[in-house]
Structure 1
Amino acid sequence: MSEQVPPTGPTLDTDAADDRRELALPSVVLVTGTGTEIGKTIATAALTALVLARGSRVAVLKPAQTGLAPGDAGDVDVVRSLAATPETAARLTTLEPIRVPEPLAPDVAARRAGVELPTIADHARTVRSLAAEHDTVIVEGAGGLLVRLDGRGGTLADLGTALRYVGTSVGVVLVADPHLGTLNSIALSAEALAARSLPLLGVVLGTWPEDPGLAETTNVEEIPSVAGAPLLGRIPTGVGTLEPQTFTTQAPTWLTIR
């Protein structure tokens, strides 16, 4: 596949790159989305690459992987393949506790497969164990914030609440669709987080088009006020095909953090 990869990746305007700022991350970062197929895994990989570039030890956890057969590359495999370079690979841990084959919400897919999912309490213990050995733990959820991750109805938001209850610092990165209608989805997610006292670190727009239209460009301006949190960047569509060295080199131009 390498011969089909462009030598350089798409970048955003240089003003955005020049305005990058250090973002103080909590011990645990929950990455959620306003929906599916909006670039959440690629955004997770870009964030992972930036944190690794700081010299940090990073763990990436996918609590439940659905829609893949055994042996297929899962989301954490994609993150590792894009974010880890020979220099940083030893500082990256990836973990996928369970996988079910149908491309459905984890609780539905597990119920149909006759599989028992780990509980939110189980995931919280795993995260705390990872946090004891890593500087940052990044947890990529399934779909949106309130998608059920276990058979008891527990969600990524519940995981964040459980971790904060025991004193673990937690923040949320929301990956959103850049197109028309996204402001409502962002506002709903932000409101759900605020109701649970879960800090929203910021919003990342995934699958950013090469030629954005009026809706996309105005969304960029409106998101901070709608979300009550900064826009952390825009991930261009198609960058998941890049080689790791190109991906990690270009990632700082997509995110306004370093």
Structure 2
Amino acid sequence: MPAERRLAPGVFVTGTDTGVGKTLVAAALARHLRDQGLRVAVMKPVETGVADPNQAGPDAALLRWAAGCQAPWEDVAPLRLRRPLAPALAAEKDKVFVDFSALVETCQRLRRNHDFVIVEGAGGLMVPLAGGLLIADLARAMELPLLVVCRPDLGTINHTLLTVFSAQTMEIPVCGFLINGMPDAPDEAMGDAPHALAALASTDLLGVLDRVDAADEQAKVEALAGQIAQLPTYRTLRYNLAWPSEPSV
């Protein structure tokens, strides 16, 4: 009987706040890894605000496109909910059962069949998922390191430190954080944020991504993927996320 395939490395992407661009960053990372020749799987365990739950939501669709992922939609986007609310409330309103164990098993299945897996959470770590469970509980159960996406403007130090410290308190490994959306002419608070966070966050700053103005989401992903390849912190990003140098056989 053949041995079971090992679980591939991966990352669980979370944000410090709504609107920080974690879907774009997750998709850009997926596109970059795909360009390296890796078989990348993506997963959006729960997406709310999906107009037609029989179809994939925009976040899951963007992730799958970026990765060139051929996994079935049931694995990429297993839980799609109509209302733009926290998952626990949206599921209650839609009378949908959140099968926590099934979400974890889906992630493991993707890890057995790909070189790298990117899971994007819903909102931040403390977002209610179901019952007494949070998105943080899902990240911990999936046993993936956390990549925190944060914004550069005023308030980001507090939000980022709270996210990192909460993860560490819950014994969720944090591989680092990315600052997304730095403008061409940052104000004083924005300009100081990378240095302050690098000194205070007790985890690695893996890069600062510039704000991208593009016609559509796919063009933004392509631009951000190009930025990732040119980051001064690229080697640290690659090491901390532990992605393989070549596809597995």
Q: Which bin holds the TM-score, normalised by the shorter protein?
A: 0.7 to 0.9
What is the aligned partner in structure 1 of residue 132 from structure 2?
Answer: 153
Alpha-carbon distance, 1:152 to partner: 2.2
242-251 or 185-194, larger mean C-alpha shift:
242-251
Letter in 2 for 1:136: F
- Answering whether residue 60 of structure 2 is matched by residue 76 of structure 1, we say yes
The aligned residue for residue 90 of structure 2 is 109
What is the rounded CA distance, in whole Å, between the counterparts of 2:16 and 2:180 in structure 1? 10
Superposed CA RMSD in Å reads 2.4
Residue 48 in structure 1 maps to residue 30 in structure 2: yes
Cα deviation, residue 254, structure 1? 5.5
* Displacement of 1:92: 7.4
Write out per-residue CA displacement over residues 188-239 of structure 1, whole angstroms, 9 at most, x where no aligned residue: 1111111122221111112222321111110011112221112222333335
Amino acid at match of 1:256: T
User: Would the alpha carbon gap of residues 72 and 208 (structure 1) be closer, same or farther in structure 2, given more than 3 Å must change?
Assistant: farther
1:225 aligned onto 2:193 = no
Q: CA deviation at 1:123?
A: 1.2
TM-score, scaled to structure 1: 0.77
Residue 59 (str. 1) matches residue 38 (str. 2):
no
Matches within 5 A, 1:33-44: 33-44=15-26
Does 1:252 pair with 2:234? no
The gaps in structure 1 that reach 5 residues or longer are 1-25, 165-169
Give the match's secondary structure for 1:143.
Answer: coil
Q: Which has the higher contact order (CA 8 A, sep 6+)?
A: 1
Q: Does 1:127 align with 2:104?
A: no
Paired letter, 2:85: L
Moved more, 179-188 or 195-204: 195-204
The 2-side partners of 1:174 and 1:245 are apart by 20
In structure 2, relative to structure 1, the CA distance for the partners of 1:215 and 1:99 (3 Å cut) is same
Q: Tell whether the 8 Å contact from 2:41 to 2:69 is kept in structure 1 after alignment.
A: no
Report the CA distance shift for 1:147/1:246 in structure 2 as closer, same or farther (over 3 A): closer
Gaps of 5+ in 2: 1-7, 239-249
| SS across alignment from 1:31 | strand
From the superposition, tell whether residues 31 and 105 of structure 1 become closer, same or farther in structure 2 (CA, over 3 Å): same
Q: How many residues align?
A: 221
Q: 1:178, CA displacement in angstroms?
A: 1.0
Q: Quick one: structure 1 residues 139 and 90, their matched pair in 2 at CA, closer, same or farther if it must change by over 3 Å?
A: closer
Normalising by the residue count of structure 2, what TM-score does the alignment of the two structures yield? 0.79
What is the SS of the residue equivalent to 1:29? strand
Selected match of 1:242 from 219, 229, 233: 219
Equivalent-residue separation in structure 2 for 1:147 and 1:243 (angstroms): 26
Identity of aligned residues (%): 33
Match of 2:123 in 1: 143
